[in-house]
Structure 1
């Protein structure tokens, strides 16, 4: 039988004694905690402002409670009484002086359900804001726009303090290092209005006299000075101190950086010079990292890297890296893992793509290339990279890139690369797109060729986290150009552009709505090949879609145009019955599917990331809808009705390196129709221009696609 208790309303002054029952015996588990009547302050903020917390819903079930899942939270009467004061105080500093808080406690044998009943009352509103002493330093209109208070808004004393900080920072950014802001307010409870006053005492305007560097051992102090935006003789700027700290951390050689004024007060009333102190602690200048991992596409993978900072002085960085993937599911280290647990690679057996992937690279970075805003990188690499059902690329490359930080905090990177490259793809791809159907005629496409390319790109990152963003946006774009004018082979000429925008909206405290749009296109010149005019784009530069970071209702590279090849040399022998009913053995040849890619790409994703009740911040869920398609401009009309839409659900497990992600996408579409070829001697013969295989297997395998990876999809 539940017992109902009502605590009297809490007003100004000491709290009224609660109730006469003995809640202490026995200890009560808090099974429910709720707020009613709150409008100005959300429930999450109220929950975090009190000591009483709700138990996990998992403790309600004997099995989950027995294994320790979830956490029990008990009612502490003393803290519960203080919680009333905490809530009243929170509302009063937020401008609600007439707030009243009641409580209802529903008690059962060993549990309690608590409800806070809040009557907020009308708020005290800002009637006027007076800012004096800023004449000739900061435009008053700008300050009124920037401070987090406005006439007519509730008078929040926390925002009142923030407003003073905003004014102080604006003045200090204009050369007044010791500016102070005196603040006061008058509250009229009868009219529920407040008059706010800020009075600026700017002090003397000062220039930077010197920059003192402390803590540098192997890295010369002059290196530190040249990497920050503070120069002797320049007017003091508070934001320059913050930018200096950020820029020094970006070097990757310091474990601790603090940039402040050397003196906390002026030496004299007319002192117009200041000293800046830069305190640093050097991090580990030599690092060795090793790691292993697993992914549904790469199978098992390994990483080893060694980096040395401050090589040759000047904060320069040398980095040596070796990566390998498809361990156990690629020759020469195949161990049958393509059957399980790397089943996505099963169809790669017997192709040029069934090889170990690797990348060995060495890079050298110069952080100060004629300017602290410009850095340069030189790298050499050898790699083998394959994409499922698409291609394999072997390359020896040399790259040079220069990155410039622009005034809009937008890093722009320009680069030049030259590679000796070989690309292997299914001959049926060349037969379908270039009408080159004799196998020997297609061999030149797999020969080693020189690729010479320039790139230009930028990334505008305004998100609040690299690993798991919850607010802000990221905009990136890249353009590539390869041409004979740059020394590239005649078959490797193209212009390619890609742009992507991702936006993150917080909904409540732990829920995020994220969306992304990605698009791109490629053009190539007409070339004479085997007596015909072709527009050839290397398979490694074409667009592909489908996979854990693309359209999740499809496997890796399985969205878009495909070709299929019947290979009479490979297959399985199956038992069947003829018309009289006799058992016969029949050879069924393999049909190999290869993604052709496209020269145009459009992808859009929308994802709601939300907490799962009872699991805290460790586990969260996601619901998503992905949309996308590849197109081949010039061969067919761009038909947006062919765009595929696939919904899905996912789980996220928080880890130090980003969320571990499990996604399942639903695909209700039939397999893509495409040309079917058969190998007959030295050439390919077209059997069906629009062959569409049927779907076999259970409903789950026909319609659900599973993905496992680390990091958000975007």
Structure 2
């Protein structure tokens, strides 16, 4: 098979129709390079495909659709076949009217309130004038049952009757609803727990015994219990007895995660070079629902990274968590070399599955190699210490409904953070305000491709005109997760020795189209832009630098392995930049 074509199809694309049939075509590239197996012509499969296409059109409301005999173009010497399916779509069936009836048993029970009944039309997609589709009918049935399940009716049923009037291409839908008794949550039992107390699990529930039954509360409770990080799986099951009780018992089945776990890994990237980490975790170490973690990492950028943290999932409210951390960190960046020793306390409040806020307080002592600083601001070099304290709060909010986690295909990501060194409990050597925002959008782009867009901006405002901003707090641009036509931190002000100095204003962004190539292999084309400026609130659009490039992605369980090659646009001649990393650039 070298070609499969369709004629007469106005409502559905040839690509969509091709996905409904078994027959497919291949070209020389697919057979020789991608090793895709050629499809051999079969008369029996061809006739089955005709029936598949007819059933597809009928399920989409085109009951009068027809297919003529498929046209075959056969090249006998080359053993090639082309098929054309001539289609006559006709007019679709449209919904003429929708009626909702409550069955006799529900009416006699008298327990379906008018306000619940009035909500049903709002959840329907098949309303007057809509094109009839089998899939929409099933979705409406599920939507009605979900509405009733979420309103205290776990035994609800919804049946339908269809009356077709073919001459008018019209269909009438009559819904028959049996609500069953209005119920409440009953007793809750927990099974499978050992080191996590049943009380802790009960405290995470989004409902209480005696409240009106709501199926959404079960789902939210299951997600919330699992998100605490102590379980391998969590299931909540409502015991819907055949006797239709008005009190629904709930059983929670959990499987706890191992109390002691060790994870480690090694890798290589063009910026971090060789890297390795080890993570030791102890669950339920004190009073049950607690977690302590020891994390150690080595890379060229972080020769020393040690972090000891303890996490409590619920404090003050069920949606508030707290983490205490002690850390030792050495950063060996292109523009600076610092050692940081300190601790932090972080409170996080989850407002929903996608929206959260946090407030942290950080206290650290920084040992800075001042050899680069003297090249930056000679007028104040005498006032700069190589050993100084930083004591400051950080406040932030984050909205993230992008999915899936490692390679988002849809959704938004928004993060806003404010750092306030100088608003201290313990005196801080330097005082400034740092604000930065990160915006991302993911969505479909053509057939099978994803468009990812990012915009990031920030500024640092010294609260005294002579205040020095520590090099590790400044903005930098350029690198594998930034403007990829430049190396790490190469954009922006440079010292006399060519090292990056960073700046107080940042603006950068980019757009990337990600597309499949073959199985787990994908490709990307991208455009990045950005720069860093020394002054605060100083953004020169004529100084923004641009780069574009190409990339390959190989999907793995821990995110895509990424290879990018990028080059600057409209600037001095620079060598190509190659980036190897794990995870998307944004």
TM-score by length of 1: 0.76
Identify if the C-alpha distance between structure 1 residues 286 and 86 changes in structure 2 by more than 3 Å, giving closer, same or farther: farther
How far 1:34 sits from its partner (Å)?
4.0
**Is the counterpart of residue 223 in structure 1 residue 223 in structure 2?**
no
1:356–1:316 CA distance, 2 compared to 1 (3 A) = closer
Aligned equivalents of 2:193, 2:6: Cα separation in 1: 54
Say whether the 8 Å CA contact 1:632–1:638 is kept in structure 2.
no
CA distance in 1, matches of 2:483, 2:426: 36
Greater shift in the superposed pair: 189-198 or 145-154: 145-154
1:245-267 per-residue CA deviation (whole Å, 9 max, x = no partner) reads: 211221223222221211254x3
- Aligned residue number for residue 71 of structure 2: 104
1:207-255 Cα deviation digits (max 9, x unpaired): 1111122222333322222222121121111111111221122122322
Q: How far does residue 292 in structure 1 lie from its aligned partner after superposition?
A: 0.5
Q: Tell me if the contact between 1:374 and 1:402 (Cα under 8 Å) persists in the aligned partners.
A: yes
In the alignment, which residue of structure 2 is the partner of 1:364?
310
What whole-Å deviation, never above 9, does each CA across 1:519-559 have from its counterpart, x for those lacking one?
11111122xxxxxx623111111111111111112111111
Where do residues 40-55 of structure 1 align in structure 2 (5 Å cutoff)?
40-55=11-26
Structure 1 equivalent of residue 405 of structure 2: 466
Aligned to 1:233: 210
Cα distance change, pair 137–257 in 1 and its aligned pair in 2 (3 A): farther
Secondary structure of 1:564's match?
coil
Q: What is residue 360 of structure 2 aligned with on the other side?
A: 415
2:331 to 354, 369, 385: 385
Of 543, 567, 571 in structure 2, the residue corresponding to residue 666 of structure 1 is 567
Residue from 418, 427, 435 that aligns with 1:479: 418
- The answer on whether the counterparts of 1:461 and 1:473 sit within 8 Å (CA) in structure 2 is yes
Structural mapping, 1:170-249, within 5 Å = 170-249=147-226
Residues 1:642 and 2:582 aligned together: no
Structure 2: distance between partners of 1:111 and 1:425: 73
User: Which residue of the partner structure matches residue 451 of structure 2?
Assistant: 513
Q: CA RMSD in A?
A: 2.4
User: Within 2, Cα distance between the matches of 1:264 and 1:272?
Assistant: 10
Residue among 403, 427, 443 paired with 2:348: 403
8 A Cα contact 2:399 2:415, kept in partner: yes
Aligned-partner Cα distance in 1 for 2:37–2:370: 55
Matches within 5 A, 1:75-154: 75-102=41-68, 103-108=70-75, 109-133=78-102, 136-138=114-116, 140=118, 143-154=120-131
Q: Indicate if the aligned counterparts of 2:96 and 2:172 stay in contact, CA closer than 8 A.
A: yes
Deviation at 1:87, TM superposition (A): 1.8
Aligned equivalents of 2:250 and 2:446: distance in 1?
41
Shift of 1:452: 1.0
Instruction: Give the match for residue 606 of structure 1.
Output: 511
Measured in 1, the distance between the counterparts of 2:83 and 2:559 equals: 36
CA pair 483-122 structure 1, distance change in 2 beyond 3 A:
same
Is 1:445 the counterpart of 2:385 in the alignment? yes
CA deviations over 1:251-293 (Å, ceiling 9, x no partner): 223222221211254x35xx42111122222333322111111
Cα shift at 1:458: 2.1
What runs of 5+ residues in structure 1 fail to find an aligned partner?
A: 1-29, 327-354, 527-532, 566-592, 672-694, 696-701
Q: Under a length normalisation based on structure 2, what TM-score does the superposition of the two structures give?
A: 0.91
Helix, strand or coil at the partner of 1:300: strand
1:544 to 451, 476, 480: 476
Q: 1:252 to 1:101 in 2, by over 3 A?
A: farther
Any conservation in 2 of the 1:558–1:595 contact (CA below 8 Å)? yes
CA spacing shift, 1:120–1:419, aligned 2, 3 Å: same
> For residues 133 and 357 of structure 2, what CA distance do their matches in structure 1 show?
41
For residue 235 of structure 1, give the secondary structure of its aligned residue in structure 2: coil
How many angstroms apart in 1 are the aligned matches of 2:377 and 2:9? 64
Counterpart for residue 498 of structure 1: 436
Q: Give the deviation of 1:95 after TM superposition.
A: 0.7
Q: Alpha-carbon deviation of 1:76?
A: 4.3
1: CA distance between counterparts of 2:542 and 2:142?
Answer: 54
Q: Is the contact between residue 445 and residue 513 of structure 2 (CA under 8 Å) also seen in structure 1?
A: no
User: 1:311 Cα shift?
Assistant: 2.4
Cα 1:147/1:453, change in 2 over 3 Å: farther
Q: Distance in 2 between matches of 1:435 and 1:299?
A: 36
1:615-659 per-residue CA deviation (whole Å, 9 max, x = no partner) reads 2x322221211121222335x953211112222222211222112
Provide the C-alpha distance between the structure 2 equivalents of 1:378 and 1:501, rounded to a whole number of angstroms: 28
Question: Are 1:710 and 2:582 matched, yes or no?
Answer: yes
2:198 and 2:30 map into 1 onto residues whose CA distance is: 58
SS for the counterpart of 1:482 is coil
1: CA distance, partners of 2:281 / 2:7: 57
Q: Aligned in 2, Cα 1:241/1:360: closer, same or farther, shift over 3 Å?
A: same
Task: Classify 1:188/1:314 alpha carbon distance in 2 versus 1 (closer, same or farther; 3 Å).
Answer: farther
Q: Aligned residue for 2:107?
A: none
**1:666–1:149: structure 2 CA closer, same or farther, 3 Å change rule?**
farther
Q: Evaluate the alpha carbon distance shift between residue 368 and residue 436 of structure 1 in structure 2; reply closer, same or farther with a 3 A threshold.
A: closer
Q: Once the two structures are superposed, what CA deviation does each residue of 1:377-401 show, in whole Å capped at 9, x if it has no partner?
A: 111111112222x112211121111
Instruction: Report the secondary structure of 1:458's partner residue.
Output: strand
Q: Matches of 2:302 and 2:183 in 1, distance apart?
A: 62
Q: Please say if residues 354 and 400 of structure 2, whose CA atoms lie closer than 8 Å, have aligned partners that are also in contact.
A: no
SS in 1 for 2:512: strand
> CA 1:454/1:281 → structure 2, altered by over 3 Å: closer, same or farther?
same
After the TM superposition, which residues 330-341 of structure 1 pair with which residues of structure 2 at under 5 Å, given as runs? none
Whichever of the two has the greater Rg, that structure is 1
Q: 1:132 to 1:309 in 2, by over 3 A?
A: farther
Q: Distance in 1 between matches of 2:186 and 2:272?
A: 56
> Would you say 1:623 and 2:525 are equivalent positions?
yes
State how far apart, in whole Å, the 2-side matches of 1:260 and 1:124 are.
Answer: 40
Check the 8 A contact 2:21/2:52 in 1, yes or no. Answer: yes
Give 1:39 deviation, angstroms. Answer: 4.0
- CA contact under 8 A between 2:154 and 2:240: conserved in structure 1? no
